[in-house]
Amino acid sequence: MDAKISIRPVQPHETVVVAAIFSAAREQLRFLPRLHSPDEEREFISACFRTEQILVAATGGTVCGFAACHGDWLNHLYVHPDKQGQGCGDLLLARCKVVSQGILQLWCFASNRRARQFYERRGFTIAELTDGSRNEERLPDIRYVWRTPPGGAMTSPPASGTA
């Protein structure tokens, strides 16, 4: 694990880098149909900046992943393919849990085996399985839910946000 990953709120000028991470990480998911152009994905991320609480993971001053939450929904969690497997996703998810109201839920494509394993190892359980008819990609997906364990208050991360 990289010892110098910092987690912080996104800055308004970081739309392009966040959109690039979103596009690159989705490109890597071979089962996903490409329904939108890079321009459309940038526009989508710009809209998220207006509605979501976004945290980024940065190493050496470079943004390499982000998480976007709205209420108890974790709507997006993406790490750049070149930076995966170094602890960014784990730290982003841990911070989302700390700032949540004790519950988080998310949608994950059933075919996304790595992400499913990632969430299940971090306390998320399956709440709903779908046939995909309600999502844009028309792919079966899973609603996962995490709740603060009974009697288990989340511990705060270091004030610096550096792991």
Ligand X SMILES: CC(C)(COP(=O)(O)OP(=O)(O)OC[C@H]1O[C@@H](n2cnc3c(N)ncnc32)[C@H](O)[C@@H]1OP(=O)(O)O)[C@@H](O)C(=O)NCCC(=O)NCCS
The site for ligand X (CB under 6 A) is made up of: 25, 28-29, 77-79, 84-90, 108, 112, 114-115, 118, 121
Rank residues 25 and 45 by Cβ distance to ligand X and give the closer one: 25
CB 99 within 8 A of CB 66: no
Closest approach of Cβ 158 to ligand X, in Å?
17
User: Radius of gyration of the chain from Cα atoms?
Assistant: 15
> Residue 96 corresponds to which tokens in the numbers above?
């989302």
Smaller CB separation from ligand X, 19 or 115: 115
C-alpha to C-alpha distance for 23 and 80, rounded to whole angstroms: 9
Give Cβ neighbours of residue 47 (< 8 Å, ≥ 6 apart).
Answer: none
**Which helix or strand (DSSP H or E) is residue 24 part of?**
helix 15-27
Quote the least distance from Cβ 159 to ligand X, whole Å.
21
Output the residue with the shortest Cβ distance to ligand X.
89
| Torsion 78-83-87-88 (CA) sign | negative
CB closer to ligand X out of 42 and 144: 144
Residue 16 to residue 122: CA distance in whole angstroms: 29
Closest approach of ligand X to the CB of residue 5, in Å = 9
Provide the minimum distance between the beta carbon of 11 and ligand X in the complex, in angstroms, as a whole number.
Answer: 21
Q: Which CB sits closer to ligand X, 69 or 115?
A: 115
Which amino acid does the sequence have at 157? P
Q: How far is the CB of 121 from ligand X (least distance, A)?
A: 4
Q: Which is nearer to ligand X, 43 or 90 (CB)?
A: 90
